[in-house]
Amino acid sequence: MSQKKEEKRQDRREASSLLDAWRVRSRVLRKVRKGNIDGGVELLTGKGVESILGKEKAEGVKLEDGREIDADTIILAVGSRPKVDLAEKANIELGESGSIEVDRHMRTSEEDIFACGDCAEKRSFFTGEPTQILLASIAATESRIAGANLFNTKRENSGQVGIYSTKIGDTAFAVAGLSEKSAKDSGYNVVTGRFKAANRHPGKMPGMKKTEVKLTFNRKPESS
Ligand X SMILES: Cc1cc2nc3c(=O)[nH]c(=O)nc-3n(C[C@H](O)[C@H](O)[C@H](O)COP(=O)(O)OP(=O)(O)OC[C@H]3O[C@@H](n4cnc5c(N)ncnc54)[C@H](O)[C@@H]3O)c2cc1C
Q: Which residues sit at the interface with ligand X, rule CB under 6 A?
A: 80, 83, 86, 117-118, 134-137, 139
Using CB positions, name the residue nearest to ligand X: 117
Number of Cβ atoms within 10 Å of the Cβ of 179: 21
Shortest Cβ 86–ligand X spacing (Å): 5
Shortest Cβ 80–ligand X spacing (Å): 6
Residue 19 or 100: the one with the smaller Cβ distance to ligand X is: 100
Asked if residues 107 and 95 have their Cβ atoms less than 8 Å apart, the reply is no
- Distance between CA atoms of 124 and 56, rounded to whole angstroms? 44
Shortest Cβ 88–ligand X spacing (Å): 11
Shortest Cβ 134–ligand X spacing (Å): 4
Asked if residues 75 and 58 have their Cβ atoms less than 8 Å apart, the reply is no
Residue 117 or 190: the one with the smaller Cβ distance to ligand X is: 117
Residue 2 or 73: the one with the smaller Cβ distance to ligand X is: 73
Residue 146 or 190: the one with the smaller Cβ distance to ligand X is: 146
Asked if residues 109 and 144 have their Cβ atoms less than 8 Å apart, the reply is no
Residue 61 or 119: the one with the smaller Cβ distance to ligand X is: 119
Alpha helices in the chain (DSSP H): 3-33, 85-89, 136-148, 180-185
Shortest Cβ 173–ligand X spacing (Å): 14
- Distance between CA atoms of 201 and 195, rounded to whole angstroms? 16
What is the distance in angstroms between the CA of the first residue and the CA of the last residue of the chain? Answer: 50
- Distance between CA atoms of 160 and 166, rounded to whole angstroms? 19
